[in-house]
Amino acid sequence: MARSFISIADLTATELKTLVANGIKIKKAIRSGNYKNPAPLQGQTVSLIFSKRSTRTRISTEGAVAYLGGQPMFLGKDDIQLGVNESLYDTTRVVSSMTSAIVARVGPHSDIQALAKDSRVPVINALCEKFHPMQAVADMIAIQEAFGAFSGLKVAWVGDANNVLHDFALASVKLGMDISIATPSGRPVSDEIKKLIANNAESGASAHYTSDPLEAVKDANVIVTDTWISMGQEEETQQKLKEFAGYQVTMDMAAKGGAAANWKFMHCLPRHKEEVDDEVFYSDRSVVFEEAENRLYSAIAVLDAFVVNKGVVE
């Protein structure tokens, strides 16, 4: 069976470090005009089955396939029979018989698991309700670029206990960083994910959970958040806006909480003003646009490892 990439938990620490290092090498090569394109996917297609909207993930993945010499095939929710006229199982069998990989953005985690189980080709998770691994690889590249190393850093999440957090936290502790996570008291990180984070922590890396954003950002080198209302949760908007009162990332929050002098702000995007104000979002502290651009380089690194090298990350 092909090796799929569903969550950061699927990687060893060495593999994650390799993906980050490869992404940085690819970035330097592309930016300097020295990217050599041996086109290992020439003549092959990579399908992108997306049941939800996307800007960054779609652009970066389609771009990555092109950089590797292949042809991306975007299959949006109104393009194929999936979910309306055909089962996930049948779709997986058919799509994986004609393409070299499936990059999928789905709702339930069980959908991405089902795809991976029945696919003949690698399945790359482009976001499900539980994980967003390609985002986390790009985020780790941004941290490496901003600080030069991971060990000794503290990252703080102030926001929802969601898919982006799960893989961000897994990647952080896997690379030896401490993480402090503030989520509203009614929206704690699940015990299952806490256990997964603990099991993925490099020796010495810790995860701390609180409902107090000021406590979370204390001594943080990185403050990170995401939308409070993930795709599919639109009906909960009014309720969530109430629950997240006091969670907007601001300069004042960082100062009052005692963030590290060199703190940086991260956000996977798309962003809304309620979770971070303009002053932080467009400041020199913010690495959000580098982070977004890194999605291309991390996508090339991930596809190279999982599709070209058949799951060997080197």
Q: Which residues bind ligand CP (CB under 6 A)?
A: 54-57, 127, 135, 268-270
Taking CB within 5 to 8 Å according to partner kind, which of ligand NVA, ligand CP, none is near residue 55? ligand CP
Give the footprint of ligand NVA on residues 27-86 (CB under 6 A): none
At 157, list the tokens.
Answer: 């999440």
Beta carbons within 8 Å of 194's beta carbon, 6+ residues apart: 207, 209
Residue 144 touches ligand NVA, criterion: CB under 6 A: no
Residue 231 touches ligand NVA, criterion: CB under 6 A: yes
Distance in angstroms (rounded) separating the CA atoms of residues 69 and 66: 5
Distance in angstroms (rounded) separating the CA atoms of residues 307 and 96: 12
Distance in angstroms (rounded) separating the CA atoms of residues 130 and 261: 33
Nearer to ligand NVA, 10 or 167 (CB): 167
CB of 230 to ligand NVA, least distance (A): 3
Residue 230 touches ligand NVA, criterion: CB under 6 A: yes
Closest CA to 198 of 7, 11, 9: 9
CB of 159 to ligand CP, least distance (A): 14
Give the footprint of ligand NVA on residues 234-273 (CB under 6 A): 268
Is 128 annotated in the active site?
A: no
Residue with the closest Cβ to ligand NVA? 230
CB of 314 to ligand CP, least distance (A): 26
Distance in angstroms (rounded) separating the CA atoms of residues 181 and 177: 13
Residue 226 touches ligand NVA, criterion: CB under 6 A: yes
Closest CA to 223 of 248, 244, 186, 191: 248
Nearer to ligand NVA, 171 or 313 (CB): 171
CB of 175 to ligand NVA, least distance (A): 21
Distance in angstroms (rounded) separating the CA atoms of residues 182 and 210: 5
Residue 276 touches ligand NVA, criterion: CB under 6 A: no
CB of 203 to ligand NVA, least distance (A): 30
- Of 102, 141, 164, 173, the one binding ligand NVA by CB under 6 A: 164
Distance in angstroms (rounded) separating the CA atoms of residues 74 and 196: 32
Distance in angstroms (rounded) separating the CA atoms of residues 173 and 4: 22
Report whether the peptide linkage leading into residue 270 is cis, meaning its omega lies within 30 degrees of zero.
yes
The catalytically annotated residue of 268, 276, 296, 300 is 268
CA 219 to chain centre: 24
At 113, list the tokens.
Answer: 């698991």
CB of 59 to ligand NVA, least distance (A): 13
Residue 162 touches ligand NVA, criterion: CB under 6 A: yes
Contact (Cβ atoms closer than 8 angstroms) between residue 40 and residue 64: no
Residue 179 touches ligand NVA, criterion: CB under 6 A: no
Where do contacts with ligand NVA occur on this chain (CB under 6 A)? 127, 162-164, 226-227, 230-231, 268
| Residue positions annotated with a catalytic role | 268
